[in-house]
Amino acid sequence: MAFQGTKINPKRFDKSQLKFYAVLVPMALFMVLPVIYIVNQAFKPLDELFMFPPRFFVIKPTLKNFTDLFRTASTTGVPMSRYLFNSIIVTVVTVLANILITAASAYVLSKKKFKLKKKLFALNQIALMFVPIAVAIPRFLIIKNVGLSDNFLAHIIPLLAMPIGLFLVKQFMDDIPDALIEAAKLDGANDFQILLKIVMPLVKPALATVGILTFQVVWNATESSSLYISDETLKTFAFYLNTLTSSSNTIAGAGMSAAAGLIMFLPNLIIFMLLQSKVMNTMSHSGIK
């Protein structure tokens, strides 16, 4: 046999894998360069930040950028901890609510039969074409007319709709056998119990992806604080850091901007590293579909 002695997907390292490492390792190093650059920028003194030609790695690392950032933060009327608390609450509530709403909506569109089902899903597909900035004015008018201006919910409600999340989760739920759901109904389970105890555990990779995407959008969002909120105590950490660095002198604020960028980036990196295997499973599944 031509393939005799060839190991396909060996459990341990094998010399046949060297050709893959020769391609993947340089590619992985290239892809991690932006992360290394962000970290190095945050610890560069001002003379290195404006050095020409610019250097990729920091030569004389310093914590001055962070100390300047927190010292400037302490001079404002509202403590930085308040902005951070607002962001944590908004992020946690929005991520959990989005996961539940997306799972429930996908379950209905995948397993229920009703009129306009296909048209509603097609409407979700159309929504994928619109970037957030394209709906900024309609969203502002809706928030204003329903009375959510200067309301904590203004941070949460506009970010609960995620068309890409609904699309991914529905693709997973389409593969769940209808017989499994029918058996649960025969055992006396209602739709809510079926969703929580049967369907959602089976689509964990897709829900983890929805959670990551939602986290990234909410954690980095500044639109709600700048457009809908005028009460300073209700604004978020991302808006605060953006305002703090942009209002400073361009040269003096460069170091603080680099430090703020690292602070905002690290939670996204940590969440992605913890759940990246789920994301890869989701992308692989959607590609096969």
**Average confidence (pLDDT) per 10 residues, the chain, 289 residues:** 50 73 86 88 84 83 84 70 89 93 92 87 86 83 87 88 88 87 88 89 88 89 87 86 67 77 86 71 50
What Å distances lie between residue 105 and 110, 162, 209, CA to CA? Answer: 8, 11, 16
Domain count, the chain: 1
Query: What pLDDT, on a 0 to 100 scale, did the predictor assign at position 288?
Result: 44
**43 lies in some domain:** no
CATH of the domain at 121: 1.10.3720.10
Residue 287: predicted pLDDT? 44
- Residue 15 lies inside a defined structural domain of this protein: no
What was the pLDDT predicted at 98?
A: 94
Q: 62-74: string of b/e by CB count within 10 Å (b at 16+)?
A: eebbbebbeebbe
pLDDT at res. 73: 65
Contacts within 8 Å (CB) and 24+ apart, 64-70: 64/255, 65/255, 65/256, 65/258, 65/259, 66/42, 66/259, 68/255, 68/256, 68/259, 69/241, 69/244, 69/245, 69/256, 69/259, 69/260
Backbone angles phi, psi at 130, to 5 degrees: -95, 125
Burial grade of 250 (CB within 10 A; 0-12, 13-18, 19 or more): exposed
The reported pTM is: 0.79
Asked whether residue 246 is domain-assigned, the answer is: yes
Nearest by Cα to 224 from 94, 74, 77, 76: 94
Distance from chain centroid for Cα 129: 19
Q: What is the DSSP letter of 198?
A: I
Q: CB under 8 Å to 231, separation ≥6 — which residues?
A: 150
Amino acid at position 152, single letter: F
Residue 1 falls inside a structural domain = no
The answer to whether 157 touches 94, Cβ cutoff 8 Å, is no
Residue 126 lies in a domain: yes
Q: Which domain holds residue 195?
A: 79-288
Using an 8 Å Cβ cutoff, are 235 and 86 in contact? yes
Q: Has residue 169 been placed in a domain?
A: yes
Residue 60 covered by a domain? no
